[in-house]
């Protein structure tokens, strides 16, 4: 898959690990995040990644900040972005199956019960069910 990834200073290690793991599995990953501990503002990172994604050519994106909260809040302000904070395999699957998320978000300062790469892979292997969910996702997309 063609994946975009971006992060602030709160998730450099998480991002680096995900990029390495995804590339090792043969995926193409464009890294728009920061690679140092120097402080940056997560809304700027979300904007950068969202604009790049909306320009086309990517299957989905991954956003990471300290908690995954701020960067997903910012991303969801941008029309056309549906960013889901994922916590486990169930939310990873449902975010695609029911919500057709085009971004998933994680926190570099969160201690997850399972490896983040497992959640990313669950998201990638899930399929959007459309049907009744298409009406609801359409209502999200109609919001301004
Ligand atoms: C940055 O210190 C931190 O606030 C940010 O990474 C994120 O956790 C915000 O939601």
Give the pLDDT of residue 74.
98
Please state, in angstroms and rounded to a whole number, the distance separating the CA atoms of residues 139 and 13. Answer: 36
Whether 9 is catalytic is no
Please give the pLDDT value at position 65. Answer: 98
pLDDT for the residue 144: 86
pLDDT of residue 9: 98
Assess whether the C-beta atom of 8 lies below 6 angstroms from ligand 1.
Answer: yes
Contact 70 CB / ligand 1 (< 6 Å): yes
9 alpha carbon – ligand 1 mean position (Å): 8
Ligand 1 centroid to Cα of residue 66, in Å, is 4
- Taken in order of first residue, the domains within the chain and their CATH numbers are 2-142 (3.40.1400.10)
For 26, 37, 38, 39, 63, the CA distances from 103, given in Å and listed in that order, are 19, 23, 24, 23, 7
Write out the chain's pLDDT in tens, 144 residues.
Answer: 999 999 999 999 999 999 999 999 999 999 999 999 999 999 999 999 999 999 999 999 999 999 999 999 999 999 999 999 999 999 999 999 999 999 999 999 999 999 999 999 999 999 999 999 999 999 999 998
Catalytic residue among 9, 27, 79, 98: 98
Question: Does any ligand 1 atom lie closer than 6 A to the CB of residue 102?
Answer: no
Cα separation of 32 and 63, whole Å?
10
Rounded CA-CA distance 49/36 in Å is 18
Pocket perturbation via mutation, ligand 1, pick of 38, 66, 72, 108 by most ligand atoms within 8 A of CB: 66
Nearest-10 Cα torsion for 50, 52, 92, 107: -70
Query: What residues form DSSP beta bridges with 5?
Result: 31, 62
Distance CA 22, CA 129 (A): 25
pLDDT score at 110: 98
CB of 20 within 8 A of CB of 28?
A: no
């Amino acid at each position: 898959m063609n994946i975009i990834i971006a992060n602030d200073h709160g998730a450099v290690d998480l991002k680096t690990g995900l990029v390495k793991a995804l590339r090792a599995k043969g995926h193409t990953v464009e890294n728009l995040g920061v690679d140092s501990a120097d402080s940056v503002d997560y809304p700027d990172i979300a904007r950068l990644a969202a604009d790049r994604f909306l320009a086309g050519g990517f299957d989905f994106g991954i956003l990471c900040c300290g908690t995954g909260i701020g960067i997903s809040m910012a991303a969801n302000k941008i029309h056309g972005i549906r960013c889901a904070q994922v916590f486990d395999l169930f939310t990873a699957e449902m975010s695609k199956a029911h919500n057709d998320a085009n971004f998933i978000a994680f926190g570099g300062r969160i201690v997850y019960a399972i490896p983040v790469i497992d959640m990313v892979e669950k998201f990638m292997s899930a399929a959007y069910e459309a049907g009744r969910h298409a009406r609801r996702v359409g209502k999200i997309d109609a919001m301004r």
